[in-house]
Each structure stands twice: as C-alpha cells, then as structure tokens.
Amino acid sequence: MNMHQRILRLLRQKNLVIGGSFVAIIVLMAIFAPLIAPFDPVSDADLMRSEMRPDGTFIFGTDTHGRDVFSRVVYGARISLSVGLITQIINTFIGVSLGLLAGYWGGKTDDMIMGLTNIMLSIPVVVFALAIMASLGPGLINLYIALGLTNWSYSCRITRAQVLSAKKADYVKAAHSLGYGHIRIMFGQIMPNILGPVLVITTLGAAEAILLEAALSFLGLGAQPPTPSWGGMLSSARNQFFTAPWLSIFPGLAIFVTVLALNLFGDGLRDILDPRNKAKNVGSKPK
C-alpha cells in the first residue's frame, strides 16, 4: 500500500478525521492560549462589568468577578488536557506493565494481577478517586495522583488479552529459538505488536479522565480558584444558571466537544488498527 492509498484510507475514516481535527484545534488552543485569549483569565477582573451578557467585546460574557469567560474557557483547556494526558500516561504505564507481566508469565502472577484488577473494576472510579482526594486534599497535583491510580484496570485487561494471543505467534516462537531473553521478547517483540489496542484505550481513557476532572472540580476537589477549570467554572456558576446561563453553557460545551472529539478519534483509531478492518479494506476496491 503506497502513501496515496494510505492517505485515502485515513480520510475515509470520518470519525478519525472529525475527531482528530477537533482534538488538534483544542490542543492548539491550549498551547497558544496567551495569544488567543484577549484578557488574563485571573487578574483582569472588574466588578463593574460583573455578569455582562455576551457582546462584541466579551463574546462569552463575563463572570461574577467581571472576568472574561472566553479567556477562562481557553485557559481551562490547559487544565483538562493536562489531566487527560498525565493521568492516562500513569494509567497506561501501570496497566500495560501489569497486563504484560500477567499475560506473559501466567500462573500465580496472572492470578494475582487479575485478582487485583477485578477488585479495581468492582469499585467505581469516581468513588475511588473521591476517597483518594479526601485523604490527600484538593489540588491539581493530588488530582493527577487520584485519577492516575484509579483507571488502569481496562488497560491491564486489554494488554493481557493481547499478550496471551501474541505469545503464541510464530515471531515469538522464533525469538525463543534464537535465544532472546524474556525482557527482550516482551518489550522488543510483543509490545510493538500490541500498541494499537493500547493506543485506542488510552485515547478513550483520556476522555473519561477529562469528565472525571470536571466532576471532581465541580465538587471543589480539583484545580482551586481562581485557576480557570471547566469543572470549576460550572461549579461556581450553578447558582446563576437562570440569571446568567452563559456562565454554565460555554464551559459545558467545551467539556462536551472535547470528550466527543476524543471518543470519535478513539473510535477512528480502533477502526484503522483493527486487523479485521484492515483485511476488509485490503480486499475491497475503492469506488
């Protein structure tokens, strides 16, 4: 398959293209927030312009402290994306490491790891995260720790299933016959061939982490005011929903669009990386 055919194949995946485009826009918005936001999200407060409706100057209106809501939404993308990225790196590292060990070694190692995984799956993530935050206290760093330690079980189970299938493959048998060590086989032979499903679950997990961050920030356990956070903005605006609805609408839309984009992107990746879809695409001729 040449480069042109690969590009056409990617473009045929509407979920991947649409979701990836929105994710790219949100990432760029977070990176270039100082250039995009017309006001400082914290210091540019003026009670004389408190709860102004959206207009030409403040396109998303202002909050109760007279701060520009658009600027706070733009800067809030940094919090949400950093939570999604950092917590999923932690979750993926834990889940993939344990899943790799469980699937490769089997036996008691597998029983112990899968027993721990089943326990984690039996506890709702938000309840576990709340328990950790209650002991550590509110704050962004503690939020990273709480969400990074509570949602690795899905990555673990998927990695284990992929390893169980991969270790029976001919290339693994050939590596054993050539005298490769276990570490080299796990990370040099098996790991590169199971990255597809791991990447998909990581993308979908980032969307869930953003939702969890919004929920915890709504409860006052995430980023603390006056740091702009979409969940925190929703929390502070809940009493003004009928008098100043724009305070809730715009951060809520930001969460909705970001989570939807990540889910679409993850679905598109799954369609691209699924071997059954690959075989179907190879066997079919483009119209």
Cβ–Cβ under 8 Å, residues 285 and 32: no
Q: What is the pLDDT of residue 71?
A: 95
End-to-end CA distance of the chain: 16
What is the pLDDT at residue 282?
A: 45
> DSSP H helical segments within 106-229, as ranges?
107-122, 125-136, 140-148, 153-166, 170-177, 182-184, 195-218
The pTM assigned to this predicted structure is 0.85
Per-residue pLDDT of the chain (287 residues; tens, 9 = 90+): 566 666 677 777 888 899 999 999 999 999 999 999 999 999 998 889 999 999 999 999 999 999 999 999 999 999 989 998 899 999 999 999 999 999 999 899 999 999 999 999 888 888 888 888 888 888 888 888 889 888 899 899 999 999 998 888 888 888 888 888 888 888 888 988 888 888 888 888 888 899 988 888 888 888 888 889 999 899 889 888 889 999 999 999 999 999 999 999 988 888 787 655 554 544 444 44
Question: Contact, 32 vs 76, CB < 8 A?
Answer: no
68, β-bridge pairs: 62
Q: Which residues contact 152 (CB under 8 A, 6 or more apart)?
A: 90, 91, 92, 94, 95, 98, 120
Q: Output the pLDDT for position 284.
A: 47
CATH of region 17-24+68-274, choose from 1.10.630.10, 1.10.3720.10, 3.40.50.1970, 3.30.1600.10? 1.10.3720.10
What DSSP element (H or E) covers 230? helix 230-237
